[in-house]
Amino acid sequence: MFEGFRDERIDVGEVELRVRHGGHGPAVLLVHGHPRTGATWHRVAPRLVERGFTVVCPDMRGYGRSGKAPIRPDHAQQSKRAVAGDLARLMHTLGHERFAAAGHDRGSYVALRLALDHPGAVERLVVMDGVPISEALARCDAKFARDWYHWFFFAQPDKPERAINADPDAWYSAARPETMGAENHAELRAAIHDPQTVRAMLEDYRAGLGVDREHEEADRRAGRTIGCPTLLLWSALDDLEDLYGDPLAVWRPWAPDLRGHAIESGHHLAEENPGDLTEALAAFLR
């Protein structure tokens, strides 16, 4: 994976981040979701480099081989604000004062926070397979609670760790090497078999139901919106439309300059349909 990319650990303050980066041209930060690592982009990143971009693929704090911050009572060490701050410092360290940010799944919340907290740095924003956490919780109904029960289970103390660590491969059995690629799958297995990583990934969800929601609701009360062009992409074979109808309608109050469409794929579109995803990203980011 990532032939020609540099693979480094970079100190961003509270933690060190594992990051792969390469290419020349406008900078694009790709932010993975749960329970992936930066390796989820291994079929997209080289294609973007071929299109003339510099591509940066970190493991978020707490995930993969990146550092784990000390746990706080309010779980703010894994807040999207903290993660976004890491990534802003990472891009500055790599020499990218202005860049595009694209996030998938849990990474879409981090990308949103980057655009809101660091508007001078983010030139273009791409969010994939998600709506803001506060919007999801405000719309939560019996269907969401049934299909996305893990949001609420993961937020409980201790028991999720015990359940996952008892048999990580069974818990994440949907992850298949034939779909993900062997090396990407091996990175995922290493992550889910590390109890410290499992705890940090669960802290992501605990922060989501508390401090992250509070941050977003404060943004809405203050009238803060995304100041750059925004692209929403979602997987046609996933459930975003089933949950929200038109996902663009959910995002419009947050992003005045918004466009978007579905891509024929299951949830992990960077792994399942990297060609169409690359086309969509390259067309928007130019």
Under 8 Å between Cβ of 244 and 139 = yes
Reported as a pLDDT band with limits 50, 70 and 90, residue 286 is confident
What residues are annotated to the active site? 105, 267
For domain 6-285, give its CATH number from 2.170.190.11, 3.40.50.1820, 3.30.420.340, 3.40.50.720: 3.40.50.1820
Please compute the mean of the pLDDT values over residues 34-39 and round it to a whole number. 98
Averaged pLDDT of the chain: 97
The answer to whether the predicted template modeling score (pTM) of the entire model surpasses 0.95 is: yes
Give me the phi and psi of 277, to 5 degrees please. -65, -45
pLDDT at 123 over 90: yes
DSSP state of 67: -
Reported as a pLDDT band with limits 50, 70 and 90, residue 240 is very high
pLDDT at 23 over 90: yes
DSSP state of 39: G
Please compute the mean of the pLDDT values over residues 250-268 and round it to a whole number. 98
Reported as a pLDDT band with limits 50, 70 and 90, residue 270 is very high
Classify the phi-psi angles of 267: left when phi > 0, otherwise alpha if psi is within -120 to 50, otherwise beta. Answer: alpha
Please compute the mean of the pLDDT values over residues 47-72 and round it to a whole number. 98
Q: Is the dihedral of CA 127, 260, 262, 271 positive or negative?
A: negative
Under 8 Å between Cβ of 47 and 28 = no
Tell me: the pLDDT tens digits for 137-195?
Answer: 999 999 999 999 999 999 999 999 999 999 999 999 999 999 999 999 999 999 999 99
Tell me: the pLDDT tens digits for 78-102?
Answer: 999 999 999 999 999 999 999 999 9
Give me the phi and psi of 199, to 5 degrees please. -60, -45
